[in-house]
Chains A and B, each alone.
Chain A
Amino acid sequence: MKTEPFILTLWITLALIFVVATGALLENSAMSELRYNHATLIHQTQAIDRTKKRWSAEESNNDIEYLKQHQSLVKHEKRGGNLYFEFENLSSNEFNILSNKILNSILVIKKITFKRNGESKGSIVVEIES
């Protein structure tokens, strides 16, 4: 008989715990989903930003300028979202440097043609994304 008030309090506390625990469980479940969504968003945002930046025209600005100012450049124009370059009459070394420059860059090459003209001359036609 003495324990009855305690038992009543115990039941009330248990009921409260049940309510709070259910709420906490639901909250935790929603929280886990939110954390996952947040982590995914951050990962995707960073990955997209990094890849875009790496292959951006700004990153290759020096290379594009180099192509534009090359002494053997015979044609240069903008085609849609691309830049078109034609280099003619390239000596062995010029050809070597220019092809190396293009292939070792992070220019987005849409089309490219390396061609031999005669014994020691060559031409390069390249279309890159701007």
Chain B
Amino acid sequence: MLNSFNIQWRTLLRRPLRLAYGDPTALLPSETIVILSPSEYWVLKVLLPVKTSKEAARYGSGLFELSGSHRYEAQKVGENSFILIAYDPERISEKLNSLPYLSQVEKITFAQWVFDEVPYPIALSNGKFLTTVEGIVIEIDAPYVRKELSITLSEALEHPKYFLKTLRRKELVTSAFTAKTLKTTLIILMILLGNLGATALRSYQESSHLQEEMERALKLSNLPETSIEREAILSALKTKESKQLYFRHQCKKISDIPIETTKNPDLPLIPIPPISPSSEEGLVLIPGSKPNDANRLLLANTSHIAPLSRGTRMQEIRYEGDAITLIFDVGDSSTKDKLKNEFTQRFKKVHINERDTQLEVRLP
């Protein structure tokens, strides 16, 4: 009831639709809706288990078995009963574009949607007739219709129509470039071009700046130009540093071995001065050592660790750049074994030579 009222109210506000069928003889205004002849599309009346025409249109591709470029429309004509239309948008678009009188037309519709309720055959200018057979509008030759009942096309279009399902012409070929699309694309491309240009310019300026900076750095450091040569210098320096630190580290490990040393109680204890600030940049010379710690190498072994046995003395430590050699005076053979055992446990590589009461340990 309310729906019917709405339709009537809107009918009062709207003008009847302007419809045209067949090839026009004059330029049609833009508001004209062109009716497509049944020869431009395919129609099928089907029963489908769906409620809306939108859902029914989805069955189009399966029912018509046409190529992928076709589109489908559906019109509900009863409970689960639909009339499906298949059309080729490119073909229709080409046809409309080929007729100059249709250049301004913006909307199209199908003869099926306009004439399906006309009970009489409609005589066309080409001698054929439009008629409805089992709810489907078709165009047939004169011998198959009752001419005496026919009406003219203008009579068929006389009855004003206010609402009609239509298709927009520009939606027929979506891939085609419109002037607006092209303008937008052009603007975007121009922005992209500008951006690329600006990036290239900035990149060029940065490259010049980096080049200058590199030249300046090379000049100041007096280093070779090639990266490989510089890497070789750095590698040699690192090796030298590692060697020095390794030597100190080995000394610390030696100092941890519990060797008894003799202290002379008569000698005054001299306060140990602070060590020079050599631990800059995180450099650890003797791991664990502190500036005021007593040196536990050789003579003044203050280690709390119990000595191996009395009478064992470290006589000499010699370092000649590649290995450390230690010479011990050993009291007896059991102490010698203990000492050998200490060294083999603490050092991965060790060469030990025995000479009577002496033990020579070589640490590569």
> Are the CB atoms of A92 and B299 closer together than 8 Å?
yes
- Tell whether B39 is near chain A: CB-to-CB under 8 Å: no
> Are the CB atoms of A119 and B262 closer together than 8 Å?
yes
Report the Cα distance A116→B286, complex, angstroms.
22
Interface string of A99-118 (1 = CB under 8 A from B): 11101111011111111100
Tell whether A96 pairs with B186 under 8 Å between CB atoms, given A113-B317, A116-B315: no
> Are the CB atoms of B281 and A122 closer together than 8 Å?
no
Among candidates B189, B227, B289, residue contacting A17 with C-beta atoms closer than 8 Å:
B189
Report the Cα distance A38→B212, complex, angstroms.
10
Residue in chain A with minimal CB distance to B318: A113
Report the Cα distance A104→B177, complex, angstroms.
81
> Are the CB atoms of B237 and A52 closer together than 8 Å?
yes
B48 to chain A, nearest CB (A): 41
B364 to chain A, nearest CB (A): 16
Report the Cα distance A101→B203, complex, angstroms.
54
Interface string of A25-57 (1 = CB under 8 A from B): 001101100110110111011011111101100
Q: Give the interface centre of B237, B251, B263, B286 by most chain A CB atoms within 10 Å.
A: B237
- Tell whether A86 is near chain B: CB-to-CB under 8 Å: no
Count of chain B residues with a beta carbon within 8 Å of a chain A beta carbon: 75
Chain A residue numbers with a CB within 8 Å of B285 are 103-106
Among candidates B200, B223, B268, B269, residue contacting A24 with C-beta atoms closer than 8 Å:
B200
The bracket for how many chain A residues form the interface is: 35 or more
> Are the CB atoms of B193 and A20 closer together than 8 Å?
yes
Q: Report how many A-B pairs have Cβ atoms within 8 Å.
A: 196
- Tell whether B207 is near chain A: CB-to-CB under 8 Å: yes
- Tell whether B297 is near chain A: CB-to-CB under 8 Å: yes
Among candidates B177, B299, B300, residue contacting A6 with C-beta atoms closer than 8 Å:
B177
> Are the CB atoms of B221 and A106 closer together than 8 Å?
no
Chain A residue numbers with a CB within 8 Å of B281 are 50, 54
- CB proximity to B under 8 Å, residues A76-128: 91-97, 99-101, 103-106, 108-116, 119-120, 122
- Tell whether B310 is near chain A: CB-to-CB under 8 Å: no
> Are the CB atoms of B221 and A45 closer together than 8 Å?
yes
- Tell whether B149 is near chain A: CB-to-CB under 8 Å: no
Report the Cα distance A50→B269, complex, angstroms.
38
Tell whether A21 pairs with B190 under 8 Å between CB atoms, given A37-B227, A51-B237, A104-B289: no
Among candidates B177, B244, B269, B318, residue contacting A7 with C-beta atoms closer than 8 Å:
B177
Residue in chain A with minimal CB distance to B280: A54
Chain B residue numbers with a CB within 8 Å of A62 are 276
> Are the CB atoms of B319 and A109 closer together than 8 Å?
yes
> Are the CB atoms of B247 and A109 closer together than 8 Å?
yes
- Tell whether B234 is near chain A: CB-to-CB under 8 Å: yes
> Are the CB atoms of B268 and A93 closer together than 8 Å?
yes
Among candidates B214, B238, B294, B321, residue contacting A96 with C-beta atoms closer than 8 Å:
B294
Chain A residue numbers with a CB within 8 Å of B206 are 31
Residue in chain B with minimal CB distance to A119: B262
> Are the CB atoms of A93 and B300 closer together than 8 Å?
yes
Chain B residue numbers with a CB within 8 Å of A112 are 317-319
- Tell whether B230 is near chain A: CB-to-CB under 8 Å: yes
> Are the CB atoms of B321 and A111 closer together than 8 Å?
yes
> Are the CB atoms of B179 and A106 closer together than 8 Å?
no
> Are the CB atoms of A93 and B185 closer together than 8 Å?
no
- Tell whether A16 is near chain B: CB-to-CB under 8 Å: yes
A19 to chain B, nearest CB (A): 10
Could you list 10 further interchain pairs (A-B, Cβ under 8 angstroms) beyond the known A6-B186, A48-B223, A114-B318? A6-B183, A20-B197, A28-B203, A45-B230, A51-B234, A62-B276, A91-B267, A95-B298, A100-B294, A115-B317
Q: Residues of B at under 8 Å CB distance from A?
A: 177-179, 182-183, 185-186, 189-190, 192-193, 196-197, 199-200, 203-204, 206-207, 210-211, 213-214, 217-218, 221, 223, 227, 230-231, 233-234, 237-238, 240-241, 244, 247-248, 251, 262-264, 267-270, 272-273, 275-276, 278, 280-281, 283, 285-286, 289, 291, 293-295, 297-300, 313-321
Q: Which 9 A-B pairs have the closest CB atoms?
A: A6-B182, A100-B295, A120-B264, A93-B270, A51-B237, A114-B317, A44-B230, A96-B300, A104-B275
